[in-house]
A = this chain, B = another copy of it.
Amino acid sequence: MTSARKQRLAGSAARSGQARKRLGRLQSAGVIRDAATALFLKNGYLGTSMDEIAAAAGVSKQTVYTHFADKERLFTELVLGNTEVVEEFGQTITHLLVETDDLANSLRELARRYLNSVIKPQVLLLRRLVIGEAERFPELARIYYERVPERVLAALASSFEGLGARGLLRFDDPLLAAGHFVALVLWIPLDRAMFIPDSGNLDVPESERLADLGVRVFLAAYGRDGA
């Protein structure tokens, strides 16, 4: 073996050693993240310690601190890490509404999907956690609100403007119309589910009924011909 080849191999081994280490770090960060998410959602911020997170993740407390400077930053990262799904939902809104040729049907489809994406145990747990901690972490709760409910409202308002331009909806204020749409679709099951964790699993017929009836009221007010 030439010395150049030996060097290349040694370099490659070192790189693959580094890659393994990096992978290991990523994996333990992921395990810590999952363990911490489960504990925060179950026991709240104050009810969860870094010791418990380390134990649940099967790593040392030192390893937890290597990845996350303190409990507060770990908590913040977890809450905001769960907001990406909203991006996708924004695309769903656009996709369903932009070129619809059956508005009532498209709105019902959208309302059903929205209800399904919110009224499920993990999302409700996160909502309760962020709301319950809004006094302690006002900045985090504000950012969560901006990234989740407010982003959905903005995406809806933007699609509604297009529908207004096509003469399919009538409104003065698209953001207000978006707020009313969300209110009509989500409020009844969501307010209940906030207080009654067990009610966070709607059966499909009830969920579809609530979505459809919310859309009916929305279209009575905002539809082209009040229907």
Residues of B within 8 A of A102 (CB): none
The smallest C-beta distance from A215 to any residue of chain B, in angstroms, reads: 11
Asked whether B42 lies within 8 Å of A44 as measured between CB atoms, the reply is: no
Contacts of A149 in B (CB 8 A): 191-192, 195
Residues in B whose Cβ lies below 8 Å from that of A136: 44, 47
Chain B binder among A5-13, A24-32, A82-90, A174-182? A174-182
The stretch from A53-61, A109-117, A125-133 touching chain B is A125-133
Chain B proximity of A111: nearest CB distance (Å): 13
- Closest Cβ of chain B to A216, distance in Å, is 7
Complex contact A195–B144 (CB within 8 A)? yes
From residue A54, how far is it (CB to closest CB) to chain B in Å? 20
Pick from B128, B138, B182, B217: contact of A198, CB below 8 A.
Answer: B138
Given the complex of chains A and B, what is the CA–CA distance between A187 and B179 in angstroms?
A: 8
Specify the main secondary structure of chain A where it touches its partner: helix
Find the B residue at minimum CB distance from A141: B195
Interchain CB contact (< 8 A) of A135 among B42, B176, B213, B218: B42
Q: How many chain A residues have a CB neighbour from B under 8 Å?
A: 45
Asked if A145 lies at the interface with its beta carbon under 8 angstroms from chain B, I say yes
Q: Can you list 25 A-B pairs, Cβ within 8 angstroms, ordered by A?
A: A42-B135, A44-B44, A44-B46, A44-B135, A46-B47, A128-B134, A131-B132, A134-B194, A134-B197, A135-B197, A141-B195, A141-B196, A142-B195, A145-B192, A149-B191, A149-B195, A176-B188, A180-B213, A180-B214, A183-B184, A183-B188, A183-B214, A184-B184, A217-B220, A220-B220
- Known contacts A44-B46, A141-B195; can you find 10 more A-B pairs with CB under 8 A? A44-B136, A128-B132, A131-B131, A132-B132, A138-B196, A138-B198, A176-B213, A180-B188, A186-B187, A217-B220
